[in-house]
């Protein structure tokens, strides 16, 4: 045995613990669906493939005591935390326990990547991954001098410094896909309204569009990078073998390249997967036409989501969205006529938005043919053009995280024109009016009739909201 191999055998394996802070995902009017942290599964799978002993702990389904025991028994050298703004609250506490156990800590995820200085100060963690997590985390495992690792924000002496940027991973197939066997999937409530076991897949990273509010180009890069069709098919076979029959495709724009989408549809049909597994995806309204919808349908897609963002053409221009309400109406109508269930998401509280703009958004939603709507709250993420717009409008952008007052799922602040109460009244009132429409209620009853065990509790909730909506009106 050569000296190099002998030395490798003598060196202890790096141990990495990957942590998901407490979080829940609640669909309005639907059951809470809890999903395993597949981003961490991807990281762990990649690290294990490269000889690192990696484990995952999801604090949603664990206690602080159990987390302490994992730290004590596993004795990780590195503890990595992933976080969006909405689940950042307990990171400091969890990181403190990890550091007391002798581990070095690192942050990743959308919130730290867009607000690294704020995230490091709030968490007490001195390192943030700014690019693709897999190669960065592996590099951290291979050196004690983190200053030599590309693509990091580091805190030193109370000041932040950036290491040279890391190149984005071009060959996403080389990263592998999440090994869902690394977690106890039975701990999660992954069943949707129709009794289907649900999981998530991401077939691409990045986005070439420049919507002023979106952090994706900052977090994932401005270039659309896709996995090969064969690699995605392989993951679909894997999730099917684990009992999943419905997939949320989490790409910001699924099938941006029509040639890729056509090949995907062909392979789904040829393999029979289009008949065995249903799935949903997100599309831009200006990239959706009869041809793309036909390809999605052939591939087994049943649900399409459109990020319309506003029913006001003025606000859409401020957002640099590149669409119009009329274009959105046509895409939604075409998708419905093509047999898809459609979700529309909008955003309220944008800088400069007025009551008139909100009313145009409400009218757009009420007149749409969508099956479901999602109303999110504007957050001025650092690194986005909207951050500067918000600052110019007099909005307090000193913190874009939950630590001092921003959230995209509950109203905390107004936009300088509309108060927090006005925004919250609009959101709740619009939800009630949308879901209490007689035609919507009748359609929902027919859908739930497919799953009788869910019919009574869902109908009870809908009738409560219908009554509230009529009182509001």
Handedness of CA 284, 285, 286, 289 (dihedral sign): positive
Q: Token digits for 148?
A: 């030599």
Give the H or E element holding residue 464: helix 452-472
pLDDT for the residue numbered 23: 65
Residue 250 has pLDDT above 60, yes or no: yes
What 459-464 contacts at long range (C-beta under 8 Å, 24+ apart), as own/partner pairs, is 461/29, 462/29, 462/435, 462/436
Sorted by where each begins, the domain ranges of the chain are 10-162, 190-432, 436-473
How confident is the model at residue 319, as a pLDDT?
98
What's the count of helices (H) and strands (E) in the chain, helices before strands? 19, 15
Mean pLDDT of 375-397: 90
Q: Is the pLDDT of residue 404 over 60?
A: no
| Per-residue model confidence as pLDDT tens digits over 126-142 | 999 999 999 999 999 99
- As a whole number of angstroms, the distance between CA 279 and CA 233 comes to 13
SS3 431: helix
pLDDT surpasses 80 at 399: no
Question: What's the predicted TM-score (pTM) here?
Answer: 0.87
Handedness of CA 161, 164, 165, 166 (dihedral sign): negative
Task: Note the pLDDT tens digit of each residue in 160-196.
Answer: 999 999 999 999 999 999 999 998 877 777 887 777 8
What is the C-alpha to C-alpha distance for residues 56 and 41, in angstroms, rounded to an integer? Answer: 7
DSSP string, 449-460: TTSHHHHHHHHH
CA separation for the pair 289, 278 (Å, rounded) = 21
Q: Provide mean pLDDT across the span 392-417.
A: 70
The two three-digit tokens of residue 256, written as one number? 């941006």
| pLDDT score recorded for residue 452 | 59
Dihedrals φ, ψ of 205, to 5°?
-135, 155
Fold of 190-432: pyruvate-formate lyase- activating enzyme (3.80.30)
- Per cent of the chain over pLDDT 70 is 86
Three-state secondary-structure class, residue 155: strand
Distances (CA, A) of 184 to 37, 340, 386: 11, 32, 40
Cα–Cα distances (Å) from 317 to 222, 296, 390, 397, in that order, read 20, 29, 15, 22
Read off the pLDDT of each residue in 293-297 and give the average, rounded to a whole number.
98
CA distances from 254 to 155, 205, 229, 237 (A): 36, 10, 12, 19
Q: Is the pLDDT higher at 406 or at 144?
A: 144
Maximum C-alpha span of the chain: 80
Mean pLDDT of the chain: 88
Q: Looking at domain 10-162, what is its CATH homologous superfamily?
A: Cobalamin-binding domain (3.40.50.280)
Each residue of 69-113: pLDDT tens digit? 999 999 999 999 998 877 787 899 999 999 999 999 999 998 899
Decide if 101 contacts 93 (C-beta within 8 A).
no
């Amino acid at each position: 045995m050569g000296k190099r191999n002998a030395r490798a055998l003598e060196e202890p394996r790096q141990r990495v613990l990957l942590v998901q802070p407490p979080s829940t995902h609640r669909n309005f009017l639907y059951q809470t669906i809890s999903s395993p942290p597949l981003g961490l599964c991807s990281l762990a799978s990649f690290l294990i493939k490269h000889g690192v002993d990696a484990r995952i702990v999801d604090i949603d389904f664990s206690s602080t005591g159990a987390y302490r025991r994992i730290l004590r028994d596993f004795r990780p050298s590195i503890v990595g935390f992933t976080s969006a703004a909405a689940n950042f609250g307990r990171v400091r506490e969890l990181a403190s326990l990890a550091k007391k156990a002798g581990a070095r800590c690192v942050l990743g995820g959308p919130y730290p990547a867009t607000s690294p200085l704020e995230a490091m100060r709030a968490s007490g963690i001195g390192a943030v991954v700014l690019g693709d997590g897999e190669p960065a985390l592996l590099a951290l495992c291979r050196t004690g001098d983190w200053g030599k690792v590309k693509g990091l924000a580091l805190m030193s002496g109370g000041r932040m410094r950036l290491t040279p940027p890391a190149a984005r991973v071009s060959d996403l197939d080389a990263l592998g896909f999440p090994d869902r066997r690394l977690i106890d999937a039975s701990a999660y409530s992954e069943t949707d309204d129709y009794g289907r076991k649900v999981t998530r897949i991401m077939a691409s990273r990045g986005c070439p569009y420049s919507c002023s509010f979106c952090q994706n180009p900052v977090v994932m890069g401005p270039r659309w990078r896709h996995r090969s069709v064969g690699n995605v098919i392989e993951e679909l076979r894997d999730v099917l073998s684990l009992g999943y029959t419905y997939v949320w495709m989490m790409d910001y724009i699924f099938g941006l390249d029509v040639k890729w989408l056509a090949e995907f549809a062909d392979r789904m049909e040829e393999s029979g997967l289009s008949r065995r597994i249903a799935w949903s995806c997100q599309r831009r309204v200006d990239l959706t036409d009869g041809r793309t919808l036909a390809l999605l349908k052939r591939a087994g897609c049943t649900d399409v989501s459109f990020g319309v963002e506003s029913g006001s053409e003025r606000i859409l221009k401020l957002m640099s969205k590149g669409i119009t309400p009329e274009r959105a109406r046509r895409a939604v109508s075409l998708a419905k006529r093509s047999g898809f269930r459609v979700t529309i998401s909008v955003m309220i509280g944008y800088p400069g938005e007025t009551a008139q703009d909100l009313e145009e958004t409400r009218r757009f939603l009420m007149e749409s043919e969508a099956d479901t709507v999602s109303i999110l709250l504007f957050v001025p993420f650092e690194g986005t053009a909207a951050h500067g717009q918000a600052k110019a409008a007099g909005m307090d952008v000193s913190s874009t995280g939950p630590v001092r007052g921003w959230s995209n799922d509950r109203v905390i602040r107004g936009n300088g024109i509309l108060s927090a109460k006005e925004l919250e009244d609009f959101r709740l009132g619009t939800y009630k009016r949308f879901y209490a429409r007689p035609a919507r209620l009748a359609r929902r009853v027919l859908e739930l009739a497919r799953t009788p065990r869910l019919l009574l509790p869902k109908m009870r909730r809908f009738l409560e909201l219908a009554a509230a909506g009529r009182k509001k009106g």
